[in-house]
Amino acid sequence: MAILSARGLGKRYGAAEVVKNLDLDLAPGQCLGLLGPNGAGKTTTLRLLLGLIEPDAGSVRVLGLPVPHAAREARIRIGVVPQMDNLDPDFTVRENLVAYGRYFGLDAATLAARIPALLDFAGLTARADARVPTLSGGMKRRLTLARALVNDPDLLFLDEPTTGLDPQARHVIWQGLRRLLGEGKTMLLTTHFMEEAERLCDRVVVLDHGRKIAEGAPRELIAQFIEPTVVEIHGDAAEAWAEARGRGACERLEQAGETWFCYTREGAALADSLAAEPGLRFLQRPSNLEDVFLKLTGRELRD
Amino acid sequence: MNFAPPRFSLRFVPVWRRNFLVWKKLALPSVLGNLADPMLYMLGLGYGLGRLLPDVGGVPYLTFLAAGTVCYSTMNSATFETLYSGFSRMHVQKTWEAILNTPLNLDDLLMGEWVWAASKSLLSGLAILLVIWLLQLQESWLLTLWIVPVAFLIGLTFSGLGLIMTALSPSYDFFMYYFTLAITPMVLLCGVFYPTDQLPAFLQHVAAVLPLTHAIDIVRPLVLGHIPPGWAWHALVLFAYGALGFWLALVLTRRRLLR
């Protein structure tokens, strides 16, 4: 039984098809990652699933309810972490939770009972009466996450939850999200941090230009689309090496600026041979979802 | 464009409460900002100019001006709240975006903003009414109590109209057009400072269709101690301006935020 399913979802703005014939399924307790470059249609997809905008094609069911027809009833059981912080700057941490909880129709007693646990989850118990502008970026994100939990949702929508955070703050958010998954919450996560999707998601859907171009478990996608090892090669002699030896040494060779990306099954042997060459610098690493992503969506910039 | 009429639900109440909670924190500067200006006009012109004038409209100038100032102050407060504060919540702080992710829909959200701005502007009207009572300018204390619901209605009128501007605005600067082209002409033409029958005929026709004129046509008789002639018509016009303004604002905000 899917907690969320979309069939043939489509949305166009004028001539631009922002979401095209998209199917999505999310089972209870799972995390589904929506990956895509900027402008791939991730946020529009979330807005369609929340019933904020009408699709031009297709149908959506969320928590057993037809959306957008019963969007209000669905949203009662959804928590949303938006891409941009939109906390109330005039309020304290606690007041933000109270005001937000009221939008879900929660009364003062319910909120008073729920808020200590939310503050604890966000690590903000000591800052409960601090005003929002005095919080760090990481604290604001944690508060935004806690705010999304105020209605004890069955389903969480997270739109790039760690964009703009430093590594420490990002890891704290990830721990929080893992804990929620452990408690059985279901998540839909958009991100362009491949690492984030690999760490958290059971399955990922790669979107580009509004279309699904790949779907599967992160490990499966890596195994399916890409060689297990990548060697990144740069330095004065890199170009000469790539021309003379690259094709033979690599199963696939890509150039991006001054760097050559050599995808291979024989990473250790290649690294040994490169170490002997003067004028080369290289990094050998296991391939990851980012490599899959770049292979599928290309290396050119999306502005 | 989606012209569907507003759907009413009590879910607008948490939006009102949110704005009220912010207002409570910032009440002092907010009250001063809203009240000082109209009150100074009223007392400065009322006393300063009033000594030089014979009775205006059959009453001392201060009394005449006080009735207009109730309406002017209410209009100003409703306008500022929906334009500047509303735009902050919609565009700068993205508060509306946060609210739309909850079970509230845009109809609830704007209804909350509309009723809130009217409530806040009611206070601005009441503050002038308080001055009227303190200075004993009213003929009948009981009759002036009617000003309380009327001020709320005036608040709904100008909040509804203000929300249209908020929905259209690309930035704070845009609001200067509304003040220059709508609010200031109303303040000067609709009978706040002098009776509209002093105007040339064509300007009287213009003034007659502007909402502030209808507001003053109700409030001034109440201060002067008689039941306003045609009050039901004036009230209907005020409500129509507010309700149609609200509807149009909703249509425009749907286009802006929900596409």
Segment A163-193, tens digit of pLDDT: 889 999 999 999 999 999 999 999 999 987 8
Instruction: Say what the pLDDT of residue A57 is.
Output: 97
Contact B259 A13 (CB under 8 A): yes
Q: Which of A176, A167, A116 is nearest to A145 (CA)?
A: A176
Nearest CA to CA, how far is A130 from chain B (Å)? 14
Nearest CA to CA, how far is B256 from chain A (Å)? 11
C-beta atoms surrounding B84 within 10 Å: 15
pTM beyond 0.90: yes
Instruction: Say what the pLDDT of residue B110 is.
Output: 98
Query: Residue A267 — pLDDT band, cuts 50, 70, 90?
Result: confident
C-beta atoms surrounding B86 within 10 Å: 28
For the cut 80, the answer to whether the pLDDT of residue B240 exceeds it is yes
Annotate B215-259 with DSSP letters as a single string: HHHHHHHHHHTSPPTTHHHHHHHHHHHHHHHHHHHHHHHHHHH--
Interface test with B, best of A84, A90, A159 (most B CBs within 10 A): A90
From B11, B93, B259, residue closest to A53, measured CB to CB: B259
More confident residue, A2 or A143: A143
Q: Report A:33-52 residues touching B (Cβ under 8 A).
A: 50, 52
Instruction: Say what the pLDDT of residue B35 is.
Output: 75
- Where do the domains of chain B lie? 10-257
Q: Which of A150, A142, A109, A103 is nearest to A125 (CA)?
A: A142
Contact A27, A3 (CB under 8 A): yes
Averaged pLDDT for residues A6-18: 94
What are the residues of chain B with a beta carbon less than 8 Å away from any beta carbon of chain A?
11, 14-15, 17-18, 21-22, 25-26, 93-95, 97-105, 258-259
The residue written with tokens 């003034």 in the block is: B207
Cβ-Cβ contacts under 8 Å, B103 against chain A: 72-73, 75-76, 103-105
Contact B95 A86 (CB under 8 A): yes
Averaged pLDDT for residues A63-78: 97
Specify the 3-state DSSP secondary structure of A66.
Answer: strand
> Is A88 in CB contact (< 8 Å) with chain B?
yes
> In angstroms, what CA-CA distances link A205 with A21, A222, A270, B153?
13, 13, 32, 53
> Is A90 in CB contact (< 8 Å) with chain B?
yes
Cβ-Cβ contacts under 8 Å, A89 against chain B: 93
Nearest CA to CA, how far is B175 from chain A (Å)? 23
C-beta atoms surrounding A280 within 10 Å: 18
Nearest CA to CA, how far is B247 from chain A (Å)? 19
Lowest mean pLDDT among A8-17, A97-106, B238-247: A8-17
| Residues B73-102: tens digit of each pLDDT | 999 999 999 999 999 999 999 999 999 999
Query: Rounded to whole angstroms, how far apart are CA atoms A267 and A284?
Result: 7
Instruction: Say what the pLDDT of residue A195 is.
Output: 84
Cβ-Cβ contacts under 8 Å, A80 against chain B: 101
C-beta atoms surrounding A260 within 10 Å: 22
Residues of chain A with pLDDT > 90, as a percent, come to 70
More confident residue, A240 or B237: B237
CATH assignment of A4-217?
3.40.50.300
> If you measure CA to CA, which chain B residue comes closest to A108?
B14
**Selection from A146-150, A265-269, B30-34 with the highest mean pLDDT:** A146-150
Query: Residue B41 — pLDDT band, cuts 50, 70, 90?
Result: confident
**Average pLDDT of chain A, as a whole number:** 93
Query: Rounded to whole angstroms, how far apart are CA atoms B8 and B17?
Result: 17
C-beta atoms surrounding A225 within 10 Å: 17
> If you measure CA to CA, which chain B residue comes closest to A18?
B259
| Residues B44-60: tens digit of each pLDDT | 999 999 989 888 988 99
From B98, B258, B259, residue closest to A82, measured CB to CB: B98
Contact B103 A84 (CB under 8 A): no
> If you measure CA to CA, which chain B residue comes closest to A157?
B101
Instruction: Say what the pLDDT of residue B78 is.
Output: 97
Contact A95 B100 (CB under 8 A): no
Nearest CA to CA, how far is A207 from chain B (Å)? 20
Cβ-Cβ contacts under 8 Å, B98 against chain A: 82, 86-88, 100
> If you measure CA to CA, which chain B residue comes closest to A52?
B258
Cβ-Cβ contacts under 8 Å, B15 against chain A: 103
Query: Residue A303 — pLDDT band, cuts 50, 70, 90?
Result: low
**Selection from A63-77, A251-265, A288-302 with the highest mean pLDDT:** A63-77
Q: What angle do CA A139, A142, A146 make, to 5 degrees?
A: 135
> If you measure CA to CA, which chain A residue comes closest to B96?
A86
Contact B103 A82 (CB under 8 A): no
Averaged pLDDT for residues B210-227: 97
Averaged pLDDT for residues B144-158: 98
> Is A104 in CB contact (< 8 Å) with chain B?
yes
Contact A87 B104 (CB under 8 A): no
